[in-house]
Amino acid sequence: YGRIQVWPGTWDDYIEASTQARERQAAANQKAKERVQELQEFVRRFSANKSKARQATSRAKLIEKIKIDEFKPSSRQYPWIRFEYDEKEKLHRQAVEIENLSFGYDPAKPIIKNFSFTADANDRIAIIGENGIGKTTLLKLLVGEGLHGLKPQHGTLKWAEKAKLGYYAQDHAEDFAQDENLTDWISGYVREGGYEGDDAETLIRGTLGRLLFKGDEVKKSVKVISGGEQGRMLFGKLMLQRKNVLLLDEPTNHLDMESIESLNSGLADFTGTLFFVSHDREFVSSIATRILEIRGPGDIVDYRGTYEEYLASQGIE
């Protein structure tokens, strides 16, 4: 982890996305206000002028169409999500090599069959396909037994020696099984980094604040938080763990738009290896540099390129 510089910069740096959004909204509001003032001045000056009465009436109607809501500052709040790791842990060349991988919950009916594949160190790979086709199964095979994933029944799967895996499961129940508050939950991952005393307290408060948990909210039990709040807490866990490989299963499920935008930005800036399952076409389009489409046992298409390029290659608009 290093020392407390894990979180560089000031608080304003951490809420940059939120600040920029508010600045854009404020600029738009100011332009709208100036336009209304201009229209009002015209109406005041020329409403009694017969030659310009029609224009004054037209401008008065235009003022009515500008909603007062446009003047309200944006209340949108963005969590701060960034996935960083020690540059000394950076992978080079290959991240994982798979040969003749096969797996089926019923061995007679394999879901993944004779799959061979090599991922490069900086690949951002989207795993796509119809519901029930095996996307989560493939991701769990990549995760491995050590992180509560799956063991191949046939074939081999070998990660690079420096690979450190961070897993975001689609089902979070196991992560929040203990009845503890948000502070205690996140502090467990702070302690993993060897932090103690004031450093640990600073990192705990800072992490929760950047995930939009403030005041008495940090005392809430993890058993009562919403699906979106669970997602933010898990992103906090991954940020603290500082992994160079991320494996995410439907990470945008239950998230609001602000959290999705922050996650999108964080993953776009991530310099490690990424595998993710998602049904969100826009999310896949903005992040993936490689596509794995599972079409059935023994039929997985590997396409090097963006999602839009892949769709075009398949003749799909």
Residue-level pLDDT at 14: 45
The three-state (H, E, C) secondary structure of 7-42, written as one string: CCCCHHHHCHHHHHHHHHHHHHHHHHHHHHHHHHHH
Residue-level pLDDT at 272: 97
Residue-level pLDDT at 191: 83
Residue-level pLDDT at 67: 52
| 245 CB-near residues (< 8 Å, 6+ apart) | 91, 95, 159, 163, 164, 165, 166, 272, 273, 274, 275
Residue-level pLDDT at 19: 52
Residue-level pLDDT at 6: 42
Q: Report the sign of the C-alpha dihedral through residues 250, 255, 258, 262, in that order.
A: negative
Residue-level pLDDT at 299: 95
Local mean pLDDT, 10-residue blocks, the chain (317 residues): 41 49 64 76 72 72 61 70 94 96 92 96 97 96 94 96 96 91 94 80 93 93 95 96 97 94 95 96 95 95 96 87
pTM of the predicted structure, to 2 decimals: 0.78
**Sheet with 154-159: strands ordered across:** 112-120, 94-103, 154-159
Angle, helix 197-210 to helix 182-192, in steps of 10 degrees: 120
Per the CB < 8 A criterion, the answer to whether 85 and 244 are in contact is yes
